[in-house]
C-alpha cells in the first residue's frame, strides 16, 4: 500500500505499510513516510490497525535512529589477520575488520563451509538464529533450506517460549486464546508473569477500557514492573513457585465448589486425577512456598472464580524457570476449571501464534535433509546450551562431531544466551569458523571471522503473522537497502548458488516465497486454515487482513468445536506425559536454584536477569537515545533494603554479584521493586561496559521440565560490597 501525498516543502511523500519485525507480541502495523529522495523521514503506528491503534512503543518510535545510525554495518567485513577473536571493540570501532566485497565474502565463506563439511561432516556446522526478525521469510525460509540441504546441525529454538508453548499445547492442543479486544470485556484481569506495560503495550488500552468499566487488574510477578505499579493488587510471588499457587487456587476453588461442573464434564479430560492431586495443595502449604498469606490465596481463588468474566494474560515470564512448563500447564487449566472459556472476556492468552497456519514446510523444506550428504535428518542442538555445544559437544562419539563452524543471524548469543562464560570460551576457540549476519557490531560479532551487513525491516519486503493478535500483514519495502546491506533470503540464496545447490527452490524470489507461505489455490486464495479469504494481491493492497478462525464470528476458543489434544478435550491429565514417564498431572517441584533448595545455603539470593523496558532483549542497547531512557537501572542491581543492610550495602555502592558460573560488578540500587531475597538487573550488551561483562554470565544452561528451554529466571547468586560509590 502506498499513499501519495504532497507537501510544499519536501516534494512528494510516500507512506508505506510496513510491519515491526521485532520479537514482540504486538507486531505493529507501521506507516513509514518516505521523501522524494528515498529517505524515510517518519515512522508511525497505523491507526487503521485495530491492535496497533496508531501508536508505537518508545523503542520503535525512534526507529530511524537505528536505521540511519552511523554505527550500522554496511559492507561485508573480514577479521584482520592477527586480530584475536576476543577483542571487544566498542560499537563504533571497526578496526578489527577490513572491508571486503560481497563476492569475496560469499566465495570465501562457501569455500570454508564446504571444506569443514568435507573434513568433519556437515553436522559440525551449527546455524544459530532466533527472532531478530519475525518476518516469515527472514525468520525461517531460505536459511533453513540452505542448512537442511547442507546437512548442518538442526537448532532447537528453545531460548524463549518452548516450555510454555509445549505446556499450553499439552492442555489445549493449539496456541489459541482470548483475543485482545475481548480483554476489554473482562471484569477481572490477571497479568501472570506478564509485563504488559513494558513488553506488550498494545494490550494495555484494552486493559484500561476494561478498568473504566469496573474491572480489577491483578499482577502476579516477583518484580514490581510498571504494570504491577499500575495494578489494583500486586502479588509479589516468590520466583518459580507459580505451579504451587495455581494448584493452591484449584484447591480452594474445588473445596468451595466454585468449579464449572458442566464445562468440566463436557470439555475436559482427567478431572478426577487433578482433583485428587490438588487436595495436597492447601493454602497454608502454598503460602510457605509462594510467600503469600493463606488468606490471600483464598481471596484470589474466590475473586477469580466468582468474578465474571475473568481473564488471564499469561506471558512467558513464568516459564523461564526450571519448573516453568508445569507452572504454565497448571495456570492454563484454571479457566477450564471455572468454565471461563464460555464467556467473551474470559479465558486466557499465552500466545495466539497457533492461529496462523502458514505452509512452513514449503518455506523451510525439511525434506532437503534427505538430499544432503547425510541422507537423514541432522542431529539437533539445543540453542539454550550453546556454551556446552561449543565447548563440549562431540566429546562423546554418539553425539556427532564437534562444532567447527557457527553461523549466526537474527540473534546476538554473545549477550542473550545463558552461561556466557562457556559461550565465550567456545566462541574464542581460534579454529572455530564464525560468520555473523548483523545490522551492528554486537557482542557476537566480536568473535566473528566474517560479519555480513543485514537489512532492517524498512529495507526489505516481508509477510508476517503475530503472537499477540490475529492479523496477517504485508510489509512493503519502504527504502532501498543502506550501503550493501542485504536481507537474509538474499544471503542464503547466494550461498546456496556458491555451494552448487541446484534444487529449483534455491532460485525462489521473495514473491514466490510469500506465495508459498500462503499456499494459494488456482484463484490465488490461500488454502491455509483461517486465511481462506486472503490473496497476496489483496494483502498487499490492504496491508493487514484479519484471520477468520471460525465460520461463526461469535465462536469462542476451546468452547465451540473440538480440541486438538489426543483426547479431544482440555487435558487436566496428559497421557502423552504419562507415556514419557513424566507426571501426567501438575505438581510443584521447587527449582534447584531457588530459596527452597539446599543450593540457597551457598548463594542465597534469587536473581531476576530482566528484559529492559526500552530495549528488545539486546537490540537497541547500543543506541544513545534508548540508553538514556534506560538510564535509571542501567548497570544496577536492584535489591531489597533488608538484603542490602544484612550485607552492609548502601544505595550506590559497587557490589559484586556472583555464583559458580561467573561474576559481574554492578551498582547497588536499594529498591522496593523487589522483595526480600530477590535481586534484579537488566539485560545489556557486554560491550557497553568497561569490564565486558553481562548478566548472562550468571545464568545457567539447566533446562526446563517441559520443552528443554532456557531457565533465566531460576538463578541463585550471592552479593557482596566492593566499595562505596
Ligand X SMILES: Nc1nc2c(c(=O)[nH]1)N[C@H]1C(S)=C(S)[C@@H](COP(=O)(O)OP(=O)(O)OC[C@H]3O[C@@H](n4cnc5c(=O)[nH]c(N)nc54)[C@H](O)[C@@H]3O)O[C@H]1N2
- Which residue's CB is nearer to ligand SF4, number 53 or number 88? 53
- Tell me if 28 contacts ligand SF4 by CB under 6 A: yes
Give yes or no for a contact between 161 and 351, defined as CB atoms under 8 angstroms apart: yes
Of 20, 312, 332, 545, the residue at the interface with ligand SF4 (CB under 6 A) is 20
Of 77, 161, 201, 709, the residue at the interface with ligand SF4 (CB under 6 A) is 201
Q: How far is the CB of 122 from ligand X (least distance, A)?
A: 21
- Which residue's CB is nearer to Mo ion, number 140 or number 584? 140
Binding partner of residue 615 among Mo ion, ligand SF4, ligand X, none, CB cut-off 5 to 8 Å per kind: ligand X
- Tell me if 56 contacts ligand SF4 by CB under 6 A: yes
How many other CB atoms sit within 10 Å of the CB of residue 299? 15
How many other CB atoms sit within 10 Å of the CB of residue 188? 23
Give the interface segment with ligand SF4, choosing from 57-65, 174-182, 423-431, 509-517 (CB under 6 A): 57-65
Give the interface segment with ligand SF4, choosing from 53-61, 64-72, 230-238, 302-310 (CB under 6 A): 53-61
State the residues that interact with Mo ion by CB under 5 A: 160
Integer Cα distance of 179 and 351 in angstroms: 10
Q: How far is the CB of 678 from ligand X (least distance, A)?
A: 9
Binding partner of residue 442 among Mo ion, ligand X, ligand SF4, none, CB cut-off 5 to 8 Å per kind: ligand X
- Which residue's CB is nearer to ligand X, number 409 or number 501? 409
- Which residue's CB is nearer to ligand SF4, number 568 or number 625? 625
Integer Cα distance of 496 and 97 in angstroms: 25
Binding partner of residue 352 among ligand X, ligand SF4, Mo ion, none, CB cut-off 5 to 8 Å per kind: none
- Which residue's CB is nearer to ligand X, number 576 or number 665? 665
Determine the straight-line distance between the first and last CA of the chain, rounded to whole angstroms: 55
Residue in 235, 349, 323 with CA at minimum distance from that of residue 713: 323
Of 27, 166, 618, 671, the residue at the interface with ligand SF4 (CB under 6 A) is 27
- Tell me if 136 contacts ligand SF4 by CB under 6 A: no
Q: Pinpoint the alpha helices (H) of 561-717.
A: 575-579, 624-629, 641-646
- Which residue's CB is nearer to ligand X, number 545 or number 683? 683
- Which residue's CB is nearer to ligand SF4, number 202 or number 635? 202
- Which residue's CB is nearer to ligand SF4, number 407 or number 467? 467
- Which residue's CB is nearer to ligand X, number 69 or number 576? 69
Q: How far is the CB of 62 from ligand SF4 (least distance, A)?
A: 10
Give the interface segment with ligand SF4, choosing from 20-28, 178-186, 414-422, 446-454 (CB under 6 A): 20-28
Of 14, 16, 17, 26, the residue at the interface with ligand SF4 (CB under 6 A) is 26
Integer Cα distance of 283 and 249 in angstroms: 8
Q: Which residues contact 181 (CB under 8 A, 6 or more apart)?
A: 50, 206
Q: What DSSP element (H or E) covers 467?
A: none
Binding partner of residue 374 among ligand X, Mo ion, ligand SF4, none, CB cut-off 5 to 8 Å per kind: none
Q: How far is the CB of 319 from Mo ion (least distance, A)?
A: 10
Instruction: Name the CA radius of gyration of the chain, rounded.
Output: 25
- Looking up cell 506471558, which residue turns up? 315
Please, what is the angle between helix 242-255 and helix 283-290, to 10°?
160
Give yes or no for a contact between 239 and 608, defined as CB atoms under 8 angstroms apart: yes
- Tell me if 22 contacts ligand SF4 by CB under 6 A: yes
Half-sphere exposure of 64 (CA within 13 A, CB side): 13
Q: How far is the CB of 464 from ligand SF4 (least distance, A)?
A: 10
Q: How far is the CB of 423 from Mo ion (least distance, A)?
A: 18
- Which residue's CB is nearer to Mo ion, number 160 or number 167? 160
- Tell me if 24 contacts ligand SF4 by CB under 6 A: yes
Integer Cα distance of 626 and 633 in angstroms: 13
Q: How far is the CB of 270 from ligand X (least distance, A)?
A: 25
How far is Cα of residue 295 from the mean position of the Cα atoms in its chain?
35
- Which residue's CB is nearer to ligand SF4, number 20 or number 655? 20
Give yes or no for a contact between 622 and 440, defined as CB atoms under 8 angstroms apart: yes
Give yes or no for a contact between 518 and 309, defined as CB atoms under 8 angstroms apart: no
Cα three-residue angle 67-21-423, rounded to 5 degrees: 85
Q: How far is the CB of 409 from ligand X (least distance, A)?
A: 4
Q: How far is the CB of 229 from ligand X (least distance, A)?
A: 11
- Which residue's CB is nearer to ligand X, number 438 or number 494? 438
Binding partner of residue 222 among Mo ion, ligand X, ligand SF4, none, CB cut-off 5 to 8 Å per kind: ligand X
Q: How far is the CB of 549 from ligand SF4 (least distance, A)?
A: 21
Torsion, Cα 178 183 185 188, to 10 degrees, reads 100
Phi, psi of 606 (to 5 degrees): -85, 125
Q: Is the previous residue joined to 329 through a cis bond, with omega within 30 degrees of 0?
A: no
How far is Cα of residue 448 from the mean position of the Cα atoms in its chain?
24
Residue in 494, 474, 386, 463 with CA at minimum distance from that of residue 106: 494
Give yes or no for a contact between 597 and 387, defined as CB atoms under 8 angstroms apart: no
Give yes or no for a contact between 619 and 454, defined as CB atoms under 8 angstroms apart: no
Binding partner of residue 410 among ligand X, Mo ion, ligand SF4, none, CB cut-off 5 to 8 Å per kind: ligand X
C-alpha cell at 545: 487482513
- Which residue's CB is nearer to ligand X, number 199 or number 307? 199
Binding partner of residue 56 among Mo ion, ligand X, ligand SF4, none, CB cut-off 5 to 8 Å per kind: ligand SF4
C-alpha cell at 647: 550485607
Q: How far is the CB of 682 from Mo ion (least distance, A)?
A: 15
Which residues are registered as beta bridge partners of 666? 655
- Which residue's CB is nearer to Mo ion, number 586 or number 707? 707
Binding partner of residue 28 among ligand SF4, Mo ion, ligand X, none, CB cut-off 5 to 8 Å per kind: ligand SF4
- Which residue's CB is nearer to ligand SF4, number 32 or number 336? 32
- Tell me if 57 contacts ligand SF4 by CB under 6 A: yes
- Which residue's CB is nearer to Mo ion, number 202 or number 647? 202
CB environment 659-681: b (16+ within 10 A), e (fewer): bebbbbbbbbbbbebbbebbbbb
Integer Cα distance of 259 and 306 in angstroms: 9
How far is Cα of residue 285 from the mean position of the Cα atoms in its chain?
33
Q: How far is the CB of 207 from ligand SF4 (least distance, A)?
A: 15
Q: What DSSP element (H or E) covers 653?
A: none
State the residues that interact with ligand X by CB under 6 A: 23-24, 130-133, 138, 159-160, 192-195, 198-199, 220-223, 225, 237, 239-240, 242, 315-318, 320-321, 409-412, 416, 437-440, 442, 454, 488, 608-609, 611-613, 615-619, 683, 695-696, 699, 712-713
C-alpha cell at 212: 473504566
Binding partner of residue 606 among ligand SF4, Mo ion, ligand X, none, CB cut-off 5 to 8 Å per kind: none
Task: Give, as ranges, the residues between 599 and 628 that touch ligand SF4 (CB under 6 A).
Answer: 616
Binding mask 364-393 for ligand SF4 (x = CB under 6 A): ------------------------------
Give yes or no for a contact between 725 and 652, defined as CB atoms under 8 angstroms apart: yes
Integer Cα distance of 542 and 521 in angstroms: 20
Residue in 341, 351, 318 with CA at minimum distance from that of residue 220: 318
Q: How far is the CB of 312 from ligand X (least distance, A)?
A: 11
Integer Cα distance of 172 and 331 in angstroms: 12
- Which residue's CB is nearer to ligand X, number 459 or number 508? 459
Strand 462-464 with 471-475, pairing:
antiparallel
DSSP string, 264-296: HHHHEE-HHHHHHHHTT--HHHHHHHHS--HHH
Chain residues that interact with ligand SF4, rule: CB under 6 A = 20, 22, 24, 26-28, 56-57, 59-60, 201-202, 616
Amino acid at each position: 500500500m502506498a499513499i501519495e501525498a504532497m507537501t510544499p516543502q519536501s516534494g512528494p511523500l510516500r507512506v508505506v505499510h510496513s510491519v515491526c519485525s521485532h520479537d514482540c507480541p504486538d507486531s505493529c502495523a507501521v506507516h513509514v513516510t518516505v521523501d522524494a529522495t528515498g529517505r524515510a523521514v517518519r515512522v508511525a503506528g497505523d491507526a487503521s490497525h485495530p491492535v496497533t491503534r496508531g501508536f508505537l512503543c518508545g523503542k520503535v518510535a525512534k526507529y530511524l535512529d537505528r536505521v540511519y545510525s552511523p554505527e550500522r554495518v554496511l559492507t561485508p567485513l573480514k577479521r584482520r589477520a592477527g586480530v584475536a577473536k576476543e577483542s571487544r571493540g566498542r560499537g563504533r570501532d571497526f578496526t578489527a575488520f577490513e572491508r571486503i566485497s560481497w563476492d569475496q565474502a560469499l566465495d570465501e565463506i562457501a569455500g570454508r563451509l564446504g571444506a569443514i563439511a568435507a573434513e568433519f561432516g556437515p553436522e559440525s556446522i551449527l546455524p544459530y538464529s532466533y527472532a531478530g526478525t519475525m518476518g516469515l521469510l527472514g525468520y525461517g525460509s531460505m536459511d533453513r533450506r540452505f542448512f537442511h540441504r547442507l546437512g548442518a546441525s538442526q537448532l532447537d529454538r528453545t531460548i524463549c517460549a518452548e516450555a510454555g508453548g509445549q505446556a499450553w499445547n499439552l492442555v489445549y492442543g493449539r496456541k489459541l486464546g482470548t483475543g485482545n479486544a475481548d480483554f476489554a470485556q473482562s471484569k477481572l484481569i490477571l497479568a501472570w508473569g506478564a509485563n504488559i506495560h513494558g513488553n506488550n503495550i498494545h494490550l494495555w488500552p484494552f486493559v484500561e477500557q476494561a478498568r473504566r468499566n469496573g474491572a480489577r487488574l491483578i499482577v502476579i510477578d516477583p518484580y514490581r514492573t510498571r504494570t504491577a505499579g499500575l495494578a489494583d493488587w500486586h502479588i509479589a510471588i516468590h520466583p518459580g513457585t507459580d505451579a504451587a499457587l495455581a494448584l493452591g487456587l484449584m484447591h480452594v476453588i474445588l473445596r468451595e465448589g466454585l468449579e464449572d461442573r458442566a464445562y468440566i464434564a463436557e470439555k475436559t479430560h482427567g478431572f478426577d486425577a487433578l482433583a485428587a492431586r490438588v487436595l495436597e495443595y492447601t493454602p497454608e502449604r502454598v503460602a510457605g512456598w509462594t510467600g503469600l498469606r493463606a488468606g490471600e490465596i483464598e481471596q484470589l481463588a474466590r475473586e477469580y472464580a466468582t468474578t465474571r468474566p475473568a481473564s488471564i494474560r499469561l506471558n512467558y515470564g513464568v516459564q523461564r524457570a526450571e519448573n516453568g512448563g508445569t507452572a504454565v500447564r497448571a495456570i492454563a487449566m484454571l479457566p477450564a476449571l471455572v468454565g471461563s472459556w464460555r464467556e467473551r472476556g474470559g479465558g486466557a492468552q499465552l500466545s495466539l501464534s497457533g492461529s496462523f497456519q502458514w505452509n512452513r514446510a514449503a518455506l523451510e523444506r525439511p525434506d532437503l535433509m534427505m538430499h544432503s550428504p547425510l541422507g537423514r535428518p541432522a542431529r539437533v542442538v539445543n540453542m539454550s546450551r550453546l556454551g556446552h555445544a561449543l565447548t563440549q559437544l562431540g566429546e562423546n562419539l554418539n553425539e556427532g562431531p564437534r562444532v567447527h563452524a557457527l553461523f549466526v543471524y537474527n540473534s546476538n548469543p554473545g549477550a542473550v544466551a545463558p552461561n556466557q562464560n562457556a559461550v565465550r570460551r567456545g566462541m574464542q576457540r581460534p579454529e572455530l569458523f564464525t560468520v555473523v549476519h548483523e545490522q551492528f557490531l554486537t557482542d557476537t560479532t566480536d568473535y566473528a571471522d566474517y560479519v555480513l551487513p543485514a537489512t532492517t525491516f524498512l529495507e526489505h519486503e516481508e509477510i508476517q503473522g503475530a503472537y499477540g493478535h490475529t492479523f496477517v500483514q504485508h510489509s512493503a519495502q519502504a527504502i532501498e537497502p543502506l550501503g550493501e546491506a542485504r536481507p537474509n533470503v538474499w544471503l542464503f540464496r547466494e550461498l546456496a548458488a556458491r555451494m552448487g545447490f541446484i534444487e529449483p527452490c534455491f532460485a525462489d524470489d521473495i514473491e514466490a516465497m510469500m506465495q508459498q507461505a500462503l499456499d494459494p489455490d488456482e484463484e490465488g486464495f490461500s488454502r491455509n486454515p483461517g486465511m481462506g479469504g486472503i490473496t497476496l494481491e489483496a494483502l498487499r493492497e490492504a496491508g493487514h487482513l484479519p484471520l477468520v478462525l471460525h465460520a461463526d464470528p461469535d465462536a469462542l476458543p476451546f468452547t465451540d468445536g473440538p480440541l486438538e489434544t489426543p483426547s479431544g478435550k482440555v487435558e487436566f491429565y496428559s497421557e502423552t506425559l504419562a507415556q514419557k514417564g513424566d507426571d501426567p498431572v501438575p505438581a510443584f517441584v521447587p527449582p534447584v536454584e531457588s530459596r527452597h533448595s539446599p543450593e540457597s545455603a551457598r548463594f542465597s539470593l534469587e536473581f531476576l536477569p530482566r528484559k529492559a523496558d526500552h530495549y528488545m532483549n539486546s537490540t537497541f542497547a547500543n543506541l544513545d537515545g534508548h540508553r538514556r531512557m534506560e538510564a535509571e537501572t542501567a548497570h544496577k542491581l536492584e535489591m531489597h533494603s533488608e538484603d542490602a543492610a544484612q550485607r552492609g550495602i548502601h544505595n550506590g555502592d559497587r557490589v559484586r554479584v556472583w555464583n559458580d558460573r561467573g561474576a559481574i560488578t554492578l551498582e547497588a540500587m536499594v529498591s522496593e521493586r523487589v522483595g526480600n531475597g530477590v535481586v534484579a538487573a537488566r539485560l545489556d550488551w557486554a560491550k557497553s561496559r568497561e569490564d565486558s561483562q553481562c548478566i548472562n554470565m550468571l545464568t545457567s544452561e539447566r533446562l526446563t521440565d517441559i520443552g528443554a528451554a532456557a531457565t533465566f529466571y531460576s538463578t541463585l547468586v550471592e552479593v557482596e560490597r566492593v566499595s562505596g560509590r
